[in-house]
Amino acid sequence: MKYILLMSATKAGVDGYDAWSKKDVAAHMTVLRGITNQLTESGEFVATQGLAQPGEAKVVRGEKNGLPITDGIFPESKEFLLGYWIVDVANLERAYAIAGRISSAPGPGGVPTNMPIEVRQFATSVQPDGQ
């Protein structure tokens, strides 16, 4: 079963992350890369991506003539997706266990961030042409 593990934060949280020391960011990234490597070895890894900063985010709507209208103003409360992992695992509990490991990746001073990770199953029934 495929699940997506979503790591999100508000803009305030992202600003906090920008203030982390280089060493803390490096330690955080090392743990996340280690998790990706282990998932690759166990055959559970599908994909992972990090997204660019909220400052580069735009919301697009279609206008009546089909042209895009863009807006870059978001409410303070908005959660921005920071990155995600797609895993293909035997059961839901395994998806939770992986999310727990991501949540415990080290933050400032090596203390686990304990960030909430949203776990969602893929709606496989509406997949177009096997994409």
Partner 1 sequence: MKYMLMMNTMRTGRGVPEWPKKDLQAHIAFMIALNQELHERGELVSAEGLSFPDQARLVRAGKDGTPMTDGVFPESKEFLAGFWIIDVESPERAYVIGARISAAPGPGGSPLNIPIEVRPVMSGPPPEMLQ
The site for partner 1 (CB under 8 A) is made up of 4-6, 22, 25-27, 29-30, 33, 47, 49-52, 56-63, 66-70, 77-81, 86, 96-97, 99-101, 103-104, 112, 114-123, 126-129, 131
What are the tokens at 82? 């920071």
Shortest Cβ 51–partner 1 spacing (Å): 5
Nearer residue to partner 1 within complex by CB, 41 or 73? 73
CA–CA dist 76, 74 (Å, integer)? 6
CA–CA dist 47, 85 (Å, integer)? 6
Contact 7, 71 (CB under 8 A): no
Task: Count how many residues are written for the chain.
Answer: 131
Shortest Cβ 105–partner 1 spacing (Å): 9
Shortest Cβ 92–partner 1 spacing (Å): 8
Residue linked to tokens 């991501």? 102
Shortest Cβ 35–partner 1 spacing (Å): 12
